[in-house]
Structure 1
Amino acid sequence: MAASPWRIHGLSVEGYRHRRTGTPCQDACTYVASAQVTVLAVADGAGSRPHSDQGALHAVELAAEHFRRRAAAASGCPPGTEVHDLLADAFHDVAKIFLDTYGAAAPDYATTLTVVVLTPGWLGHLSVGDGFVVVRAGTEDGQRQFHLLPQPPAVSEYSNETVFLTSPDAPRRLHTDCVADPRVDGVLLSTDGLAQAALSTPGGGPPQPNTSFVEAVLRSLDTPGPVTDSASENIAALLRSDRLTSLNGDDKTLLRAVRAVTP
């Protein structure tokens, strides 16, 4: 089987609050990769739910399987409405199995879910909850450009609540995107624990990528070859650092992919 054109690395670490209480990390991430379809998924278990760490892990595993299956079956699908339908159908596959697995106890496993599907012709993005995705695409005046993909709208103007995979209105509140830009050569997915580090709100406006942070974590993956143990340790140390902890004490997830092969 031909290798994936993407070099990928990701990890989730417990935040300061959970380290202090001995609570397991409630974030999770995973990916599957082949020459034609790569799926990246991150999830953030609801902190108030007793089994949300298990829910987050189960959600990303289901997403990797079912988004890959749907995208592979639609090989050659052009960018556009069909991609949005594919993403929504894959989410419904995931949600049905998830809810069927836990039944009445499903709210105890509540989690957000953010997924990116990479194919030769397009990038698909689906999100339910408050995860986010930044892509690296093109240059302007010699500087690489970074773009925050649209996020689902807030539950309400006055609430910091989020929507979970198990929420009754999740199918209505999920957000999908299709990006057809061959210049995309880097992708970063994260949960909201990294929002203050990876995003900024200049002048109080809408969030934008924090270029220095995103550029650094993607650039460190640009070097050809497998990610070494020391590189993984360095990223883990960054996510647990006092600097990032001072911005947000929640669990943190960083899943990143850079194009290793020119299309």
Structure 2
Amino acid sequence: MLDQPWNSWGASVIGPLHVKAKIPNQDSWKARRYKWGNVVVVSDGLGSKAHSDYGSKAACLAVFAAAKSYQNTPDANIADILRLIHANWLVKIAPYSSIDCSATCLFAIQNEGTITLGRLGDGIIVAVGKTDEHHLILSDNKQESFSNYTNSLRQEFKPDQWETATINSATCNAVVLCTDGISDDLLADSEMDFCIDLINEYSFLTSKNRTKQLIKMMNEWPVPHHSDDKTIACLFKKGGAQ
């Protein structure tokens, strides 16, 4: 039986640097409701790639296609989902090459009693639980990293670069997915509080007003000299985070 009531929302804004350079928004996000559940995904095209905006859009569509196939294959596991996402992405970026379309991929697939999470590359996924013990964060710790290298969808499928988790949907109130234009600016150990506040502030608004306020918030991002595209998407239950 489908978990109820699950809803989704999100928004994306182009970074000031890309506006000045007349470069399109390289972030993408999409959410869809199916009879069997919900899928939410965000993707950030690598800035150095010629068609990274196309690659991020293809990543979102690839997750939808993989999720639908997964529902029709009872014996499939998380590794099968990741392989399907990669294969679908290679098809959907045509006629461009994978080198020119590299993109990150973060998703949440909710069906029946579970939520499956996957993260490849920069960005963050925060699962806000009903209690503190059910909270979960999937992210890079860039403060301890000396490399600018970002894992992403590329020609070769590398399942070991993905971080995944499966959680009980009954213990989860919401899942927030953010590209690194948001996550990189959050203070250490503040991610959960940020997401809880975000859910409580925006989930009760009407769809039109929510999108308007989200875009306003990201365009007025309170970090000096911020330049990156910014995307936030959320899968949530009515009633707020806590």
Alignment TM-score, normalising by the size of structure 2 = 0.84
1:128 equivalenced with 2:127 (yes/no)? no
Match of 1:250 in 2: 228
Residue correspondence of structure 1 range 38-77 to structure 2 within 5 A: 38-70=38-70, 72-74=71-73
State the partner residue of 1:30.
Answer: 30
SS in 2 for 1:200: coil
Which deviates further from its counterpart, 176-185 or 84-93? 84-93
Name the counterpart of 2:131: 139
Cα drift, residue 97 of structure 1: 2.0
Match of 1:119 in 2: 111
2:41, 2:221 → 1: CA distance?
A: 26
- Counterparts in 2 of 1:66 and 1:223: CA distance versus 1, 3 Å: same
Check 1:121–1:62 CA distance in 2 against 1; reply closer, same or farther (3 A cut): same
Structure 1 unaligned blocks of 5 or more? 203-207
User: What is the distance in 2 between the residues matched to 1:88 and 1:6?
Assistant: 24
Counterpart in the other structure of 2:197: 216
**1:50 aligns to what SS in structure 2?**
coil
Deviation by residue 1:28-67 (Cα, 9 ceiling, x = unmatched): 0001112422111111011111111111112112212222
Contact 1:42/1:113 (<8 A) preserved: yes
Amino acid at match of 1:110: S
Check the 8 A contact 1:128/1:152 in 2, yes or no.
no
Please give the residue correspondences for 1:1-263 in structure 2 after superposition, counting only pairs within 5 Å.
Answer: 5-70=5-70, 72-74=71-73, 83-98=77-92, 101-102=94-95, 105-139=97-131, 146-149=135-138, 151=139, 157-166=145-154, 168=156, 170-197=158-185, 199-202=186-189, 209-211=191-193, 213-223=194-204, 226-227=206-207, 229-244=208-223, 246=224, 248-260=226-238
Contiguous gaps of at least 5 residues in structure 2? none
- Residue in 2 that maps onto 1:205: none
TM-score, with length taken from structure 1: 0.78
> Structure 1 242/181 Cα, relative in aligned 2: closer, same or farther at 3 Å?
closer
Whether the aligned pair in 2 keeps the contact of 1:4 and 1:38 (CA below 8 Å) is no
Q: How many residues align?
A: 237
Q: Structure 1 vs Structure 2: percent identity of aligned residues?
A: 20
The change in CA–CA distance for 1:19 and 1:125 in structure 2 (over 3 A counts) is same
Query: What letter corresponds to residue 201 of structure 1 in structure 2?
Result: A
Q: CA deviation at 1:111?
A: 0.9
Q: What is the alpha-carbon distance in structure 2 between the residues aligned to residue 242 and residue 32 of structure 1?
A: 27
CA shift for structure 1 position 74: 4.1
CA distance in 2 between partners of 1:181 and 1:32 (Å): 17
For 1:49, what is the secondary structure of its paired residue?
coil
Structure 1 moving runs of 4+ over 6 Å: none
